[in-house]
Amino acid sequence: MQIKLNSVLVDNQDKALKFYTEILGFVKKFDIPMGEFRWLTVVSKDRVDLELVLEPMGFEPAKTYQAALFSSGIPLTALATTDIDADYLRLKSLGVVFRGEPQQAGTVKVVLFEDTCGNLINLYQA
C-alpha cells in the first residue's frame, strides 16, 4: 500500500488554492468542476505523484471538526521541509501567521501555522 492522496478541509476552495500555490509554493494539478464544488488538488513541484486535495466542507460535522481542532491548537496535517528556518522566515514575510517559532521536538524541528482556510498546519524538518 502507498499514500498517494491526502486532503485538508477548506472553507473556501478559491482562497485555499491561492494560499497553497502562491504562498506555500504548491502547483495546481487538478481543477475539475463537481456540482457546487471542485475536485481540486495541488502537488509539490518535485513530487507530482503525491496530491493534496483542497476538500470543501459541504458536510456540517466537518465544520465542527475543523473548528474544534483549530480552537484546541491541534494541526489538521503536517508538511515537510528541508529548511524550516528559511521557510519560516519566507512565509512569515508573506504574512503567514505562526503559533510560535521553530522548535526542536525530539529528532524533528517543528512550527505551527494557520493556512487561512481554518486549519493549523504543522511544518516540520526531520
Give the CATH number for residue 72. Answer: 3.10.180.10
Q: How far is residue 48's CA from residue 61's CA, in Å, rounded to a whole number?
A: 31
Q: What is the pLDDT of residue 58?
A: 87
> What phi-psi label fits residue 72: left (phi over 0), alpha (psi between -120 and 50 degrees) or beta?
alpha
The total number of structural domains that make up the chain: 1
Residue 25, C-alpha cell as written in the block: 509554493
Mean pLDDT (whole number) for 46-51: 94
CB burial class (10 A; 0-12, 13-18, 19+) of residue 118? buried
CA angle 26, 112, 61 (to 5 degrees): 80
CB 89 within 8 A of CB 103: no
124: phi then psi, degrees, rounded to nearest 5 = -135, 155
Supply the mean pLDDT for the chain: 97
Q: Can you give the residue range of the structural domain that contains 120? A: 5-125
- Please report, rounded to a whole number, the percentage of residues in the chain having pLDDT higher than 90: 98
Q: What is the pLDDT of residue 34?
A: 95
**What is this structure's pTM?**
0.94
CB 84 within 8 A of CB 102: yes
The Cβ of residue 70 has, within 10 Å, a number of other Cβ atoms equal to 16
